[in-house]
Amino acid sequence: MAKPTKELDILKHHLSKNNLKLTRQRENILTTFLKMEHVTAEQMYRLLAKKDPHIGLATVYRTLKLLCETGLAQEQHFGTQTQFDNVAHKGHHDHLICTTCDKIIEFENCQIEELQEEVARKNGFTIRTHKLELYGNPVQLSSGECKNCGKDLSNQDVRR
Amino acid sequence: MAKPTKELDILKHHLSKNNLKLTRQRENILTTFLKMEHVTAEQMYRLLAKKDPHIGLATVYRTLKLLCETGLAQEQHFGTQTQFDNVAHKGHHDHLICTTCDKIIEFENCQIEELQEEVARKNGFTIRTHKLELYGNPVQLSSGECKNCGKDLSNQDVRR
DNA sequence: GTCATTGCAAAGTCTTTGCAGGTGA
DNA sequence: TCACCTGCAAAGACTTTGCAATGAC
């Protein structure tokens, strides 16, 4: 099936190191996961169910957690929603989230990361991971709608 | 009971504006909330139950949500945990979270905030709120323990 | 053949909702 | 008075766990 990837090797290595086995489900989940920037467990479940209708949601949860342990994925909480980020391919990135249409834009900014390190250093900390989310929306039209999705924004408070 | 505060006035104003009523429970929750930097619904419930054993957890959830609507509180998700932050007194702040003992340190950094605005501007966004969390731990001792709480850190991966 | 893994269903956790009785303005 | 509130219990959303059958090595 899928040609060997660096990521598959990472998974295999983690599996053998921990006496675990490479199953069809695990391989499918990894393959699908690598095509995405981020997924929720539910989304992953629905994607997989198209090809393999008998897949269980519990397996998806278990495998996504496994991918986090290998370092290929990283669990992220946006508001109330839990997403699994593909860090393997893109490296670390932060998020800009549209509060009207829930679209997520990824970005990186070295200057911010440096300032974060500085804050940590001042507090005697070593940063292991971090999370930065900006919530907002595209400049609104004079008519009061979101430029992206058209929803009415005129009665939303701005609070930073 | 509690002498009048600016925050109580904000609450009263919001209530009357929306045809809501000031109840004993709402006043108690506000009073307790103002003493804290942040609480979970469960913590708030236990604190209140000491004085008023018949308080309902649902009331706590409803009232904390109400405080968010007034702008006195702000809901924050740390990992899997939901906290309600007291923004009224301290203004916006970000968080430095110890991954070994879960202690939360609050900080502010204007330079980071400016860079955030810049990122948003480049993407045509207006920031409505943001969230920055640094996860890490105090410099570890040569023996491998967390300086803060003594837990063993030597086998934790550093991934940024 | 052995032991990890799977799918299913049941159980957990956290939060919200429906409702009947209580209460503030 | 009358609509809003409360506490309780039930329902929901999301995630984890127990278990018997299945499958990888």
For the purposes of burial, counting CB atoms within 10 Å of the CB of B26, is it exposed (0-12), middle (13-18) or buried (19 or more)? buried
Average pLDDT, stretch A133-149?
64
Q: Identify the residue whose Cα has the smallest distance to the C1' of D17.
A: A58
For residue B140, give how far its alpha carbon lies from the nearest alpha carbon of chain A (Å). Answer: 9
Answer whether A109's CB lies under 8 Å from B95's CB.
no
What type of residue is A122? K
Cα–Cα distance between A31 and A52 in angstroms, integer? 13
pTM of the complete model: 0.74
Cβ-in-10-Å burial (0-12, 13-18, 19+) of A12 comes to: middle
- Burial of B6 (C-beta count, 10 Å sphere; 0-12/13-18/19+): exposed
Chain A: closest CA distance from residue B51 (Å): 31
Bridge partners of residue A134, in order along the sequence: A96, B130
Report yes or no: A131 and B121 within 8 Å, Cβ to Cβ: no
Given pLDDT bands bounded at 50, 70 and 90, which one contains residue B15? very high
* Nearest residue of B to residue A68, measured between CA atoms: B159
Among A65, A122, A130, the residue to mutate for chain B (most B Cβ within 10 A) = A130
User: Closest nucleotide to A42's CA, by C1' atom?
Assistant: D14
pLDDT digits (tens, 9 = 90+) for B34-77: 999 889 999 999 999 999 999 999 999 999 999 999 999 989 88
Q: What pLDDT shows up at residue B87? A: 79
The pair of three-digit structure tokens given for residue A99, joined into one six-digit string: 């509060």
**What single DSSP character describes residue A146?**
B
Nearest CA in chain A to B105: A123
Cβ within 8 Å of residue B97, ≥6 positions away: B78, B103, B104, B105, B133, B134, B135, B136
Q: How many residues does chain A have?
A: 160
Query: What single letter denotes the amino acid at residue B50?
Result: K
Q: B82-141 pLDDT, tens per residue?
A: 999 887 666 677 888 776 666 778 888 999 999 999 999 998 888 877 888 888 777 655
Q: Taking the CA atoms of B84, B89, B92 and B93 in sequence, report the sign of the dihedral they define.
A: negative
Contact between the CB of A57 and strand D at under 7 Å: yes
Strand partners, A90: none
Does the pLDDT at position B144 exceed 60? no
Per-residue tokens: A100: 């009207």
Bridge partners of residue B89, in order along the sequence:
none
pLDDT at B157: 36
Of A112, A127, A139, the CB nearest to B124: A139
